[in-house]
Amino acid sequence: MTIRMELSRILICEMHDLQIIELTELDGDRTFPILIGLAEAEAIKRRFQGMEIKRPLTHELLANVIESFGGVLERVEISDLRDHTFFAELHITTASGEELVIDSRPSDAIALCVEAEVPIFVAEHVLEQAQSDL
């Protein structure tokens, strides 16, 4: 079972390599943080602030490539948590209707989902484990 989440907070500290994003359960009150890199945090922040960039960044490029091939990013799922590392998947429907599930770092997946305006889901066991690790 997966739970619909939303990005609720981005904490950026330019003095450190790792930044924090927080996901919150859409129809509940559970939250958990994910550590991400500064580049991904800045990309997410720019999108939320509506900042236009003259040339596509990596996440815009990937969204453009998926669209150019007739695909649609349907959703992002944080699918696993092993050894304090989150794992994510991109769920893409191809032009022929085939569903592809592509392995991704959560930071890249979330930056892409913010760019493409698609939902974020988290596997129940990941949410439970993340809550117990807090």
Euclidean distance between the first and final Cα of the chain, in Å? Answer: 21
Query: CA 57 to CA 63: how far, in whole Å?
Result: 10
Question: Judging by beta carbons within 10 Å of its beta carbon (0-12, 13-18, 19+), is residue 50 exposed, middle or buried?
Answer: exposed
- The model's pTM is 0.87
Calculate the average pLDDT of the chain: 88
Instruction: Parse the chain into domains and list their residue ranges.
Output: 2-133
Token pair for 79: 């699918």
Residue that wins the pLDDT comparison between 15 and 28: 28
Q: Render pLDDT for 61-92 as a digit per residue (tens, 0 to 9).
A: 899 999 999 999 999 999 999 988 899 999 99
pLDDT of residue 14: 73
For the chain, percent helix, then strand, then coil, each to nearest 5? 30, 40, 25
Q: What is the mean pLDDT of residues 6-18?
A: 81
For helices 38-48 and 58-68, what crossing angle results, to 10°?
70
Residue that wins the pLDDT comparison between 27 and 49: 27
CATH homologous superfamily of 2-133:
Bifunctional nuclease domain (3.10.690.10)
> 133 falls in which pLDDT band (50, 70, 90)?
low
φ and ψ of 9, to 5 deg? -160, 145
pLDDT of residue 58: 84
Q: What is the mean pLDDT of residues 32-52?
A: 83
